[in-house]
Amino acid sequence: MPEPEAGPGQVVIDVDRAGVCGTDVELFTGQMNYLHTGRSSYPLRPGHEWAGTVTAAGPGTDPAWVGRRVTGDTMIGCGNCPRCLAGRHHVCARLSELGISDGIPGALAERLAYPAAYLKALPATMDAGVGALVEPGGNALRSLEAAALNSGERLLVLGTATIGLLVAMFARARGIETHLLGHRERSLELARSLGFGNAWTRETLPDGAWDAVVDASNAPHLPALAVDLVEPGRRVVYVGLAGSPSTVDTRSIALKDVTAVGILGASAGLSGTITAYADGSVDPRGVIAATVGLDEIIDVLAGQRPAGAGAGPKILVDPRK
């Protein structure tokens, strides 16, 4: 790849860490739906979870960014349409998704050219790995806030991968009684090791009133289960995506007066996530399994766990390792 240059309104970033997401894996294997709709095409450089340091600023960009540690939004809108002007750039009709859709090469590289308008400053003391977890954390925080819970109420999170665990961490920080539902004993053991004693399989899940259910899984049968389990008049939040269509009976939603909320992207949750990580109320480091170099990325994208990896679901990349 040619060395990136900072065009008008852009910066160049030395990438310190990048996370590997399930979306990156689907882009690599060809399973990603965008490849079949034309929204994404090869060649494509993935990577949308990242942290780094600004090393150059292009024309029209504030030079004060140079030297700052940053992360940034995955969702890059046009900036001029009614959706963008109303603060909904993440659903812009001309949306570009960093490292996912055609337009902006992603962060699985030593350096990244990126629009300065979408940067988020990180504290100079924040660990690079933690900085790379801001993007998934933003999705998790948005999911929790969409659940509309108060301290002491009961939340059930479906899924014990990165997003599910982060949702649970944000919920715990707000005094919410948090339970997780998984199906692999290894992932349940990880959840328990992170302090979530209420980690269950479907067979062991206790009865009770679930004031909200967040589906952070990729299982096509769980969206319907979420509606079945949630208390009438409360909320179900969908942040996970199954590889095949899922079916939810809208009669169940209507007759239980349930509010169903979909979450696309971390945009509105990025700043809150940085604050929570910085003040220590949420510590995401337990989800990190290993940090590899770019020369190992092919095996990771193909689904192989690095030798010596811990129990966490997240693999990070150090481009200079």
- The sign of the CA dihedral 71, 283, 172, 224 is positive
- What pLDDT was estimated at residue 103? 84
- Residue 177: phi and psi, rounded to 5, are -70, 115
Do the Cβ atoms of 182 and 191 come closer than 8 Å? Answer: yes
pLDDT at residue 283 above 90? yes
* Residue 247 domain-assigned (yes or no): yes
- What pLDDT was estimated at residue 179? 98
* Residue 194 domain-assigned (yes or no): yes
The 10s digit of each residue's pLDDT in 129-156 is: 999 999 999 999 999 999 999 999 999 9
The 10s digit of each residue's pLDDT in 95-140 is: 999 999 988 999 999 999 999 999 999 999 999 999 999 999 999 9
DSSP assignment letter at 241: -
User: For a pLDDT cut of 70, what percent of the chain falls above it?
Assistant: 100
* Same domain for 93 and 32: yes
Mean pLDDT over 298-303 rounds to 95
DSSP assignment letter at 289: E
- What pLDDT was estimated at residue 1? 85
Number of Cβ within a 10 Å radius of residue 43: 6
Q: How many domains does the chain have?
A: 2
Confidence label for 218 from pLDDT (cuts 50, 70 and 90): very high
Q: What is the domain range of residue 206?
A: 140-262
* Same domain for 183 and 255: yes
- What pLDDT was estimated at residue 187? 87
- Residue 96: phi and psi, rounded to 5, are -110, 135
Confidence label for 184 from pLDDT (cuts 50, 70 and 90): confident
Mean pLDDT over 259-276 rounds to 98
- What pLDDT was estimated at residue 174? 98
- What pLDDT was estimated at residue 235? 98
Question: What CATH number did the domain enclosing 222 receive?
Answer: 3.40.50.720
Confidence label for 303 from pLDDT (cuts 50, 70 and 90): very high
Do the Cβ atoms of 43 and 59 come closer than 8 Å? Answer: no
* Same domain for 171 and 120: no
* Residue 270 domain-assigned (yes or no): no
Mean pLDDT over 1-16 rounds to 96
* Same domain for 77 and 52: yes
pLDDT at residue 244 above 90? no
* Same domain for 161 and 119: no
- What pLDDT was estimated at residue 243? 82
* Same domain for 144 and 211: yes
* Distance separating alpha carbons of residues 193 and 73, to the nearest angstrom: 31
Query: Which is more confident, 187 or 240?
Result: 240
